[in-house]
Amino acid sequence: MKTLLALTLATLALSAAPAAQAQDGSRMMDQMAKADTDRDGNVSKTEFLTYRAQQFDRLDRDDNDVLTDDDLPRMARIAEMIKQRTAGMDADGNGMITRAEFTNGPTTAFDMADANNDGVVATAELQAARAKFEAMAKNRR
């Protein structure tokens, strides 16, 4: 369950309360680094989207290419967190998230970390974003 939650938080930064978003943001930056498949220290938008697509496969427990409540973990707290973070991805509002909606949904965490908007989150940008989220979490306590 911890892995599922961490992977979900890594790819989704959508509708959390500010304090929770700050804590989740730091973890998301830690997880975003895992999208660096070529290990060059940078996460390209392509790497990030590929990583996100892989996470869809993990979340779609019944392999029907749609995320519904049936795919959510049985632990209510984790299920609710996943629902909150995927709510903005349901483009047609039908209560289900298709593979296309998930993969092509907002890339808020990536965009926030990509300070110079060049389509790559460099190591320095990732570290700066992590520090920003950690400071926000500390100030909220």
pLDDT reported for residue 141: 66
pLDDT reported for residue 77: 67
CA separation, residue 38 to residues 2, 25, 46, 88, 137 (Å)? 25, 23, 11, 30, 31
Joined tokens for residue 14: 């959508």
pLDDT reported for residue 39: 92
Average pLDDT along the chain, 141 residues, taken 10 residues at a time: 40 40 64 89 94 88 86 71 75 86 87 95 92 82 66
pLDDT reported for residue 24: 61
pLDDT reported for residue 17: 37
Domains belonging to the chain, first-starting first, are 2-140 (1.10.238)
Distance CA 33, CA 92 (A): 31
